[in-house]
Structure 1
């Protein structure tokens, strides 16, 4: 009988940078106590468009609920074309796998800036102020600028894309994201010929993100992609899930989604996008370089040092399932890494 792959225990999942600071975490636990608030409380509508235009109106959601965005996708946009099977008989943007329930997506989260357990981000998300919000776009760009989020959302039609999401901790979800291709933004900003990488930075504000009061990681959180990865059609900036406004625990108001990479690559609550000539020093690859590489492509053949990556636990299912190379998107993205040693460049 073949030996089953090892499933990471709760203790194993905790990163070394975290459990080596147990005393500090206990001291900081008081920072998180008593801060629970209603999920999505005080969230605002995604866009500030005038009535009659496509998209949501610029008003706060009544009752603090996540705002429906079913009218934010104009007819005939890219997601509609994808759902119609325009991409050679099948769509890379929509999987036919069962979607993870909305309540699971918004209640089981890794977002250390809002807390260290899976439930803490939802409890503390009410601290995060989502308006006003601006993103600095700079570095190797012909058109560097500071972009107000509502302006950014008026630039591009919103698309629904149903992607698999695989966490490095060996659990997974299927999430219907709402957003737009990162490539559309980068093309508008016009990278220079020296641009080789794209660096993303999360908001740094310990009052809104109380986890930043600890030294679990070197804040602010930084992630990065090669520019060809960033320009790939699958890569997107998400502002919603299930047709509703993205909540704080999921990286509101705007986050990166790269479905063939482990979830920690998806930088949340982004305030800066910088084009660089040199590879960024990303947060997890700096904190634990033997465990978390820069590329972080989903690879069942390369185990995490403390657990197997061969299988995964889909949230809501009892049995484990095999993990697919590149999270099932190998046909679309494997060519980006032709000739590379994917064990060395993990």
Structure 2
């Protein structure tokens, strides 16, 4: 196992030293009582990021930052939507490493500096995210494929498995006799899904470092899938030949499929998925309902990944 170090890049492309260390200061802030909505911006401004090629914009009104950072699913901090923001203050996302191993030619462990080096290619991805409710969030991140390329996946690798951190001393949802889920939280993608340009690792949103409640310091975003696929606070990524376990699929396979592609024609056993409720605006429930779109509206980009598959059977 070796630690990845970035290769030299042209001087014209190097971030200014003051900006780089400002980013590290932001991360240190996260170590003291959690992140604030008023935290300084990242090294790149939202305008600069939006101007770079490779991002994505669905041309929809963004969800208010206050809603996106206060209405979350993150069971490690509690099962209520307000629990992550209220109970994640003791979580310390620095220092941090993400181990990448399994069927790769060059297994490695990436610290935050190394991830930020990949993040020199950061883009803003204004993406719809949907469960029974939906938001449009300006994620700041980079394609997962950029990380996978560094470790050189073997030809036998077919899937990518993800694992989140287990810290019951900092994550109150992981404490107690009766636990809602088995820890660690795990997820998985097919390798071609993981390499798709819209599959990103996010380290920020709204021009700021990722808040604890949104999955600091690094999380997965796959916008054409239901929200539970977006594993947070990732510590390990493993390439494998066999389909990996997925926490909700393992807990209730009749309710949560491995693929979890947004499909209005496949109802959850306990509710319809034909409509979604957009958070914000006129209220949280009822007033903002709209039809759910196949693949969450990203069909033109991702439908080819599933040609020939029965998307009702492989939900």
TM-score band w.r.t. shorter chain: 0.7 to 0.9
Match of 1:95, SS?
A: coil
Give how far 1:150 is off. Answer: 2.0
Q: Which residue of 2 aligns with 1:72?
A: 44
Whole-angstrom distance in 1 between the partners of 2:119 and 2:58: 23
Contact residue 279 and residue 288 of structure 2 kept, 8 A: no
For 1:313-324, what aligned pairs fall within 5 Å after superposition? Answer: 313-316=277-280, 317=282, 318-324=287-293
Give how far 1:53 is off. Answer: 5.5
Q: Which residue of 1 aligns with 2:142?
A: 180
Give how far 1:69 is off. Answer: 3.0
The answer to whether 1:51 aligns with 2:17 is yes
Distance 1:305 1:341, change over 3 A: same
RMSD: 2.1
Cα shift readout 1:207-263 (whole Å, capped 9, x = no counterpart): 111211242111100000000000000000001110011111101110000000000
Q: Which residue of 2 aligns with 1:253?
A: 217
Unaligned runs of 5+ in 1: 1-48, 84-92
Unaligned runs of 5+ in 2: 1-14
The answer to whether 1:234 aligns with 2:206 is no
Q: Which residue of 1 aligns with 2:156?
A: 194
Contact residue 75 and residue 173 of structure 2 kept, 8 A: yes
Whole-angstrom distance in 2 between the partners of 1:54 and 1:203: 26
Match of 1:216, SS?
A: coil
Give how far 1:73 is off. Answer: 6.1
Whole-angstrom distance in 2 between the partners of 1:54 and 1:149: 12
Whole-angstrom distance in 2 between the partners of 1:120 and 1:74: 28
Q: Which residue of 1 aligns with 2:298?
A: 329
Give how far 1:341 is off. Answer: 0.5
Contact residue 95 and residue 163 of structure 1 kept, 8 A: yes
Compute the TM-score of the two structures, normalised by the length of structure 2.
Answer: 0.86
The answer to whether 1:205 aligns with 2:167 is yes
> Which of 113, 135, 139 pairs up with 1:150?
113
Match of 2:88, SS?
A: helix
Whole-angstrom distance in 2 between the partners of 1:75 and 1:298: 30
Q: Which residue of 2 aligns with 1:276?
A: 240
Q: Which residue of 2 aligns with 1:345?
A: 314
> Which of 78, 82, 85 pairs up with 1:119?
82
Whole-angstrom distance in 1 between the partners of 2:23 and 2:259: 38
Match of 2:237, SS?
A: strand
Give how far 1:78 is off. Answer: 8.1
Q: Which residue of 2 aligns with 1:105?
A: 68
Give how far 1:52 is off. Answer: 4.1
The number of equivalent residue pairs is: 287
> Which of 263, 273, 296 pairs up with 2:260?
296
Give how far 1:166 is off. Answer: 0.4
Q: Which residue of 1 aligns with 2:100?
A: 137
Contact residue 55 and residue 72 of structure 1 kept, 8 A: no
Match of 1:135, SS?
A: strand
Give how far 1:51 is off. Answer: 2.2
The answer to whether 1:165 aligns with 2:134 is no
Compute the TM-score of the two structures, normalised by the length of structure 1.
Answer: 0.78
Cα shift readout 1:73-99 (whole Å, capped 9, x = no counterpart): 69987862257xxxxxxxxx1111110
Q: Which residue of 2 aligns with 1:44?
A: none
